[in-house]
Amino acid sequence: MSIRFDENKKTFTLETAHAAYQMMVDRDGFLLHLHFGDKLGGGSCAGLLDTGYMDFSPAPDIEGTYRNYTLDLLPQEYPVFGAGDYRSHCMNVTLADGARNPELVYASHRILSEKPVLEGLPGLHGACETLEITLRDRWTDLEVVLLYSVFAEYDAIARSARIVNRTGAPIRLHAALSVCLDVQESGFDLIHFWGRHVMERQVERTPITHGKISVDSVRGTSSHQHNPFVILCDHMATEDAGRCWGVSLLYSGNFVACAEEDQSCSCRVTMGINPTGFEWRLENGESFQTPEAALVYSGEGIGALSRRYHKLYRRNLCRGEWALKQRPVLINNWEATYFEFDDDKLVRIAEQASELGVEMLVVDDGWFGNRFDDNRALGDWIVNTEKVRGGMGKLCERINALGMKLGLWFEPEMISEDSELYRAHPDWCLHAPGRGKSRGRNQLVLDMSRKDVRDCIHDMMYTVLSSANFAYVKWDMNRHLTDVWSAELPADRQGELYHRFVLGVYELLERLEGEFPQILFEGCSGGGGRFDAGMLYYHPQIWCSDDTDPIERLEIQYGTSFGYPISTVGAHVSASPNHQTGRTTSFHTRGVVAMSGTFGYELDLRKLSEDEKEQVRAQVKQYHRQYSLINDGDYYRLLDLTAQKDISAWEFAAEDGSRALLNIVYIHVRGNCPPPVLHLRGLTPDASYRLTEDNGREIGVWTGAALMNAGFRPARSNACYPAGATDYAAFQIELERID
């Protein structure tokens, strides 16, 4: 059993492979947090609750005139607004009589042998135990059911809350967050991931001082600007040492993560749906389910935390046929043709790709309706037979005859004003009547909360996808939400629209993916604008960024690796000079960087030199040979890109230590600067390893202990510095254990 309840001490203890999570019901019935960290050896942490007295921190009514008790100082599992705790809260509710001060106390609990499905929302799956604790307002029949699913192998706890109205009258939710983590210490940092379009998930580490640090999105999606994943860690925590707590929200809409150090020098982290713009009317008998948050603990540094998330999400979040299946190497026509293509041009690209070993052609934007630029036709998901003569079925036959698969791009949540769909249904876009419309990329957003809208989009997509043997869909979203108003909702329920939009997108994805289980769906939102754990439940891979410059991608993929598996990272070799930055890099460097992802090409293969074509053949073979190591192996960040910007190095190691792949990119070479000393990881200490450069040259043999403890210094060989190259040189070293 990973979940134990001590009836005498009223403590719940949840145990994982390396950690324990403990909470207790106190004498007044409040559910208080005690510990999430290293194992306790069966002990109790109740002694941490003696917080003492502090003026201006009131005691609840049940304590009478006793002053030495206050919720304002106590660590709680689900703090609420108005009950005497003035810190960040998880729930804010107005009851029918206008009262806003519920007191949630323990009512009951159940231990389940499986994980309940969260209706309409993504969630972790697989073998686990679940603790369900019901809290009830001391004054009414408002209930909050807290769910804790224990994934012991990954030191992970999946948390969510279900708010149930049994009060006999409607109530209004103003905040309904998913998780609170109270740590009764100070001295922590918050690691979060900020960015912008074509520069997503930049790592920022900030000391938590008195006051609040908040990262959030009110853009209708998780966004390029902030990611719904944060790490709380010791000030001195490194990749290999220190305590770390990850909080990852399985949600793709507006979110907020807040970290604060309070007056008693304790730390609190909360995360969930952003209360800004949110309000939910809950009728009597109805319930509201919050999104799930995945908490992971590591006492062995940030790297171990990342690897636990990687395995958890690969095995217990991604679903379907493609969750663990080897993905095909693809060529996307976008940077080769943009909107200027027809079926013959696409087939010529596929012919060249097939000769080089590429396995799939993806037809990007421009195949539908009157789509000759990005100002029209979104919503008209009907094949343009002037561009694709004979329809998609005929094109697919020609592509399949070359031994290749066919994929297709959609942007289902958007609509152009210059479209047949908009002319027929102008009320289907998000907009408030009598007001102007905001445009992004000259397009509007469909009201995905409406079933009639989703049904229409579904039927058009179903018709296209049924017409050919498609193997892949790229699901894009190229603007954020504004004018968030729905003709289907009354005025007093417009605050529900942001969340209903996300639920609508999830519903459409669930329907289509159930109908086409053989299709690999890849997510995209102007690149990485919706790269979150919620989307990974539907898309086992997501286009990491619209920036395909390999040097920029080093930082983007570095930041992404803290919380998301390599197998989910869409990464391609693109043209040089790069279309986003104008930077020139070698074909080899582009391949090394893109190989730390799902791997493919986004350029016109017909314009490559014979030498570059040979490199494509070699890269595809190399990726196939190393696929299981890259996508299923343990990932190690060997150099800190936030501390220095000159060199990037990372490693993939097999779980059994049998082999590894070392990747190095020289971003900026300095005069007479010696090569770095790299401490490798994941090797068998008392075994020997043969090291071979990617050009086939054997470097030598070292023991695993020497490579990990003393380190390895790559030589300044011609493999590192091809003729004329300085900055941006890259190479790979393979390590094979000698049995």
Query: Could you write out the DSSP letters of every residue in 335-353?
Result: HHHTT---HHHHHHHHHHH
Task: Tell me the C-alpha distance between 280 and 288, whole Å.
Answer: 9
Radius of gyration of the chain (CA): 27
Tokens of 398: 């020609």
Within 10 A of 162 (CB to CB), how many other CB atoms are there?
A: 19
Helix, strand, or coil here: 102?
coil
Q: Model's pTM, two decimal places? A: 0.97
**Neighbour count for residue 248 (Cβ, 10 Å):** 29
Are 431 and 496 in contact by the 8 Å Cβ rule? The answer is no
Q: What integer pLDDT is reported at residue 696 of this predicted model?
A: 87
CA 26 – CA 31 distance, rounded (Å): 7
Spatial distance between the Cα atoms of 71 and 60, rounded to a whole number of angstroms: 8
Residue with tokens 């994980």: 115
Alpha carbon distance 297, 159 (integer Å): 14
CB atoms within 10 A of CB 628: 13
Single-letter amino acid code for the residue at 178? S
Cβ neighbors of 43 (< 8 A, separation 6 or more) are none
Q: Which tens digits make up the pLDDT trace of 626-647?
A: 999 999 999 999 999 999 999 9
- Rounded CA-CA distance 675/655 in Å is 28
CA-nearest of 664, 666, 654 to 704 is 654
The residues facing 213 across adjacent strands are: 259
Indicate the helix (H) or strand (E) that contains 618: helix 610-632
Token couple for 707 = 């490579």
How would you classify residue 230: left for phi > 0, otherwise alpha for psi between -120 and 50, otherwise beta? beta
> Coil, strand, or helix at residue 620?
helix
Direct distance between the N- and C-terminal alpha carbons of the chain, in angstroms, rounded to an integer: 38
To which residue do tokens 């049995």 refer?
A: 739
d(CA 715, CA 702): 15
Distance CA 431, CA 429 (A): 6
Give the residues of the chain that fall short of pLDDT 50.
717-725
User: Tokens 């000759």 — which residue?
Assistant: 372
- What's the confidence (pLDDT) of residue 716? 55
Listed in sequence order, the DSSP H helices in 78-234 are none
Q: At which residue do the structure tokens 């994929």 appear?
A: 407
H/E element holding 314? helix 302-316
Residue 719: what pLDDT? 44
Please give the single-letter amino acid code of residue 302. Answer: I
Q: Is 280 exposed, middle or buried (CB count within 10 Å of its CB: 0-12, 13-18, 19+)?
A: buried
Position 123 scores a pLDDT of 98
**Residues 266/183, Cβ–Cβ less than 8 Å:** yes
**Residue 286 near residue 172, CB atoms below 8 Å:** no
Res 27: pLDDT: 94
Give residue-wise pLDDT tens across range 377-399. 999 999 999 999 999 999 999 99
Instruction: In whole angstroms, give the CA distance from residue 542 to residue 477.
Output: 12
CATH code for the part of the protein at 330-632: 3.20.20.70
Per-residue pLDDT reduced to its tens digit, 204-240: 999 999 999 999 999 999 999 999 999 999 999 999 9
Q: Tell me how far apart the alpha carbons of residues 659 and 228 are, in angstroms, rounded to a whole number.
A: 34
Active site annotation includes 77: no
Instruction: Evaluate whether 681 touches 651 at the Cβ level (below 8 Å).
Output: yes
pLDDT digits (tens, 9 = 90+) for 530-576: 999 999 999 999 999 999 999 999 999 999 999 999 999 999 999 99
410 in Cβ contact with 473 (< 8 Å)? yes
Could you tell me if residue 628 is left (phi over 0), alpha (psi between -120 and 50 degrees) or otherwise beta? alpha
Q: What is the residue extent of each domain of the chain?
A: 3-316, 330-632, 637-738
Characterize 426-441 residue by residue with b for buried, 16 or more Cβ atoms within 10 angstroms of its Cβ, and e for exposed: eebbbbeeeeeeeeee
Contacts 24+ apart (CB under 8 A), 623-631: 623/329, 623/595, 623/599, 624/329, 626/595, 626/652, 626/661, 627/326, 629/653, 629/654, 629/659, 629/660, 629/661, 630/566, 630/595, 630/596, 630/661, 631/326, 631/327, 631/565, 631/566, 631/567
Kind plus residue range of the DSSP H or E element containing 196 = strand 188-196
DSSP of 685-704: TTSEEEEEETTS-EEEEEEH
Residue 507 bears catalytic tag: no
DSSP label at residue 422: H
Rounded to whole angstroms, how far apart are CA atoms 729 and 399? 35
- Residue 537 has which token pair? 């439940």
Q: Take residue 523 and report the two structure tokens written for it.
A: 């997510």
According to DSSP, the β-strands at 330-332 and 600-602 are parallel
What are the respective helix, strand and coil percentages of the chain, to the nearest 5? 20, 30, 45
Query: Please, what is the angle between helix 587-594 and helix 550-560, to 10°?
Result: 10
What number does CATH give the domain 637-738? 2.60.40.1180
Task: Kindly give the residue spans of alpha helices, DSSP state H, lying in 447-488.
Answer: 451-466
CA dihedral of 359, 365, 368, 369, whole degrees rounded to 10: -170
Cα–Cα distance between 586 and 419 in angstroms, integer?
Answer: 42
Catalytic residue selected from 155, 262, 532, 634: 532
383 and 367 Cβ atoms separated by less than 8 Å: yes
CA–CA separation, 510 vs 477, rounded Å?
17
Cβ atoms of residues 404 and 360 within 8 Å: yes
**CATH code of the region 3-316:** 2.70.98.60
- For 41, counting Cβ atoms within 10 Å of its Cβ (0-12 exposed, 13-18 middle, 19+ buried), the class is exposed
One of 63, 612, 646, 727 is an active-site residue; which one? 612
